[in-house]
């Protein structure tokens, strides 16, 4: 499907009176998504781990959008306790959540690290944390006037990903990029399965996925000071060079995510990204889905495992 015209957030409807949560919004794609939603009048709750960065992000957003309704709330997706505390706090302030953008992420951590709950850092933060957050916020999402919209941010890296059920946490064999690819494939599988479950159960909830192409953000181009092998050093250099030469700005990378979050044309179960060569950059269009993301038995097994690991029953 080609989306008519060059879609920008200006074409989205007025979002005044609606509330959006954007994870990982203190910089990069998350900040650009929060900014875009604020320009359409939404009340935007920016989340992240660093309160100082959060305050700066809100200040910068308000400088761009004078009447913006924006606030920073602490949330560490590498901690199930933090996620539960965030969900309780949000419930106290509002019964309704219109938009949830599951954006926050960690990319290719050089050394295997674990979350507070013992999950491999990338799988735990990028995927399991968002799975738990979505489950805990589902009641508020379902109370939204038009049904809450959940946007899962995937990546072109999902094409190289596979779900290794025998070693989800990378305890036996850890590869920085393979772990990242698995986490992003899991996000896409989750978005598609959430749509199927929502429709089969009659939930007033919309699940949409998006990817930013090759967006030049800190997560993609930052250097690591940790010890690295030759292969990893080459991979990181290729990523930095490739993103800078062939990628697009964070603002452009945020457009498919904003389309998924705010455009009436975004369909339930849809997947959106840039329409240029290799989906690396360009105008918003419907993205191709990796075949491994369409395996129903894998999706159902991943869902079941995720409920067990997080202790959050989403179905």
Q: Would you tell me the crossing angle of helices 176-201 and 129-142 to the nearest 10 degrees?
A: 20
Residue 124's SS3 state is helix
Edge-to-edge, what's the strand order for the sheet holding 271-274?
Answer: 69-74, 43-48, 19-22, 99-102, 148-153, 205-210, 271-274, 284-286
User: CB neighbours of 250 closer than 8 A, spacing ≥ 6?
Assistant: 28, 29, 31, 32, 212, 215, 216, 217
Whether 180 is catalytic is yes
Q: Which of 31, 127, 174, 180 is catalytic?
A: 180
| Nearest C-alpha neighbor of 22 from the set 13, 9, 35, 4 | 35
- Return the CA Rg of the chain: 18
User: CB neighbours of 275 closer than 8 A, spacing ≥ 6?
Assistant: 2, 282, 283, 284, 285
- Spatial separation of the C-alpha atoms in residues 205 and 143, rounded to whole Å: 9
Q: Which helix (H) or strand (E) holds 178?
A: helix 176-201
pTM for the model = 0.92
Per-residue pLDDT tens, the chain, 315 aa: give them.
556 569 999 999 999 999 999 999 999 999 999 999 999 999 999 999 999 999 999 999 999 999 999 999 999 999 999 999 999 999 999 999 999 999 999 999 999 999 999 999 999 999 999 999 999 999 999 999 999 999 999 999 999 999 999 999 999 999 999 999 999 999 999 999 999 999 999 999 999 999 999 998 775 434 334 554 555 554 445 454 454 546 699 999 999 999 999 999 999 999 999 999 999 999 999 999 999 999 999 999 999 999 999 999 998
Strand partners, 73: 47
Here the tokens at position 104 are 């926050």
């Amino acid at each position: 499907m080609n989306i008519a015209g060059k879609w920008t957030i200006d074409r989205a409807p007025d979002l005044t009176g609606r509330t959006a949560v954007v994870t990982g919004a203190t910089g990069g794609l998350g900040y650009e998504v929060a900014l875009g939603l604020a320009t359409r009048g939404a009340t935007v709750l920016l989340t992240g781990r660093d309160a100082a960065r959060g305050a700066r992000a809100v200040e910068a957003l308000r400088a761009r959008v004078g009447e913006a309704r924006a606030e920073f709330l602490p949330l560490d997706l590498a901690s199930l306790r933090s996620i539960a505390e965030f969900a309780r706090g949000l419930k106290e302030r509002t019964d309704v959540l219109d938009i949830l953008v599951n954006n926050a992420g960690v990319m290719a951590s050089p050394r295997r690290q674990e979350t507070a709950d013992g999950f491999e850092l990338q799988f735990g933060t990028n995927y399991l944390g968002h799975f738990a957050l979505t489950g805990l916020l589902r009641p508020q999402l379902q109370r939204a006037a038009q049904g809450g919209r959940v946007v899962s941010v995937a990546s072109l890296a999902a094409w190289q990903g596979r779900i290794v059920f025998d070693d989800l946490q990378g305890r036996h064999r850890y590869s920085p990029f393979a772990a990242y690819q698995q986490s992003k494939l899991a996000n896409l599988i989750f978005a598609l399965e959430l749509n199927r479950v929502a429709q089969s159960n009659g939930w007033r909830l919309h699940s949409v996925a998006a990817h930013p192409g090759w967006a030049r953000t800190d997560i993609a181009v930052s250097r690591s000071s940790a010890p690295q092998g030759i292969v990893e050093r080459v991979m990181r250099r290729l990523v930095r060079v490739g993103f800078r030469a062939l990628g697009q700005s964070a603002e452009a990378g945020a457009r498919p995510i904003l389309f998924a979050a705010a455009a009436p044309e975004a369909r339930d179960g849809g997947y959106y990204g840039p329409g240029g060569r290799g989906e690396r950059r360009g105008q918003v269009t419907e993205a191709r889905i990796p075949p491994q993301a369409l395996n129903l038995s894998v999706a159902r097994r991943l869902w079941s495992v995720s409920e067990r690991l997080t202790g959050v029953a989403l179905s």
